[in-house]
Amino acid sequence: MKKVHVVVPDLFLPSSLAKEVCANLALPVLEKILARCTSQRLAINSLEAWLRHSFEVPAIAPVTLLADGLAPETGYWLRADMVLLNLNRSQVILQTNVTLDLTEAQQLCASINEYFFDMGMRFFAPHPTRWYLRLDNEPDLITHSLYQVEGRDSRGYLPQGSSSLKWHGVLNEVQMLLNGHPLIQAATERGVAAPNSIWLWGGGRATKVSQPYDKIYGDSELAQLFAQAANIPCSRNFPSDVGVERELYIWEGMSVALRRGDFYAWRESALEFEKSCLNPLLQKLIAGELDQLTLDVLTDDVSRRFSLTRPMLWKFWRRVKPLAHYVSV
């Protein structure tokens, strides 16, 4: 039985945005699928949480570390991503679109490791902006996903827990090191969006990554990292046919646009999602080349799972509604 599972974060907008952003947005394939499907609520509200659940891992950091070519082995690992904290009136907005190459990242990492040498922590920079922090022991720390905080006031998402004050101090020291580093100063003078802080999140210990799918497609970098860690073939380009029994499609473009407040890009991504992903899948379902299409729509508030089989396409009495009707809250 051939099944395709599609996951799309932030397809449904908050009610305060949906009417205006979705005005005159024609998505007949998506609207037909949503009208004919059965639906149920999901308890998962982010792509990060969805991937952790599906691949049966408790934490992000050891998974992406493995995909980045390092062996987690022992120790407790945190993501320590390079970010830009931008003061905007009374808010400190976190941005991820910083400019840094691998050589620069490793130079900065070496400077930070030299400073924290005696504190039982070591930073790693196998990727320009995707850094890691290794600790011998698990900290009593509650963190928030980078994807949850991007575009928002970071002060409301700082690490919490009994050791939070210590880690707030670590973040402040890293910020001072970065702001005073010649490499960052030179980049700032050139007008480059250089990082001025790190964001700690996704901590955990190494564990086995399951293989819930045979092939993964889509534009999500995070999903690609999970695929690499699980040794699952992965491609950005959607296939012309359904070749295996368990395929996962992930479309993150709308979520990226929403986090950055770019509603024009959100609309363009929605149109491309319909054209490149949903329409070919619907045609395969109609032709009998696909047995079931499952669509998970993830939002911060209420996520939903929509399931569609070929016989359900004949439920013509179900009224098609515009996308703006399906708001997250």
Same domain as 178, residue 305 = no
Same domain as 253, residue 302 = yes
Report which of 215, 80, 76 is spatially closest to residue 146, judged by C-alpha positions.
80
Q: What is the model's pLDDT at position 185?
A: 92
Q: What is the model's pLDDT at position 237?
A: 87
- Tokens standing for residue 199: 């964001």
- The total of other beta-carbon atoms located within 10 Å of residue 32's CB is 16
Choose one of 204, 236, 258: the last residue of a domain: 204
**Cα gap 309→294, rounded to integer Å:** 9
Same domain as 175, residue 71 = yes
| Cβ proximity of 194 and 188 under 8 Å | yes
Same domain as 284, residue 172 = no
Same domain as 85, residue 43 = no
Report which of 42, 68, 27, 59 is spatially closest to residue 270, judged by C-alpha positions.
27
Report which of 42, 101, 102 is spatially closest to residue 298, judged by C-alpha positions.
42
Same domain as 66, residue 160 = yes
- Tokens standing for residue 229: 């860690």
Question: What are the respective helix, strand and coil percentages of the chain, to the nearest 5?
Answer: 40, 20, 40
Q: How many domains does the chain have?
A: 2
Same domain as 252, residue 297 = yes
Choose one of 173, 204, 235: the last residue of a domain: 204
Q: Determine the structural domain holding residue 150 and report its residue range.
A: 62-204
Q: What is the model's pLDDT at position 223?
A: 95
* φ/ψ (deg, to 5) at 49: -65, -35
**Cα gap 307→283, rounded to integer Å:** 16
Q: What is the model's pLDDT at position 318?
A: 80
Choose one of 177, 204, 231: the last residue of a domain: 204
Same domain as 303, residue 182 = no
What is the full per-residue pLDDT of the chain (329 aa) written as tens digits? 688 999 999 999 998 899 999 999 999 999 999 999 999 999 999 999 999 999 999 999 999 999 999 988 789 999 999 999 998 888 999 999 899 999 999 999 999 999 998 888 999 999 999 999 999 999 999 999 999 999 999 999 999 999 899 999 999 999 999 999 999 999 888 888 999 999 999 999 988 999 999 999 999 999 999 999 999 999 998 887 666 678 999 999 999 999 999 999 999 999 999 999 999 999 999 998 888 999 999 998 889 999 999 899 888 778 889 898 887 64
Same domain as 197, residue 71 = yes
Same domain as 100, residue 218 = no
Same domain as 218, residue 316 = yes
The SS3 call for residue 183 is: helix
Q: What is the model's pLDDT at position 267?
A: 97
Same domain as 25, residue 92 = no
**Cα gap 222→47, rounded to integer Å:** 9
Q: What is the model's pLDDT at position 192?
A: 86
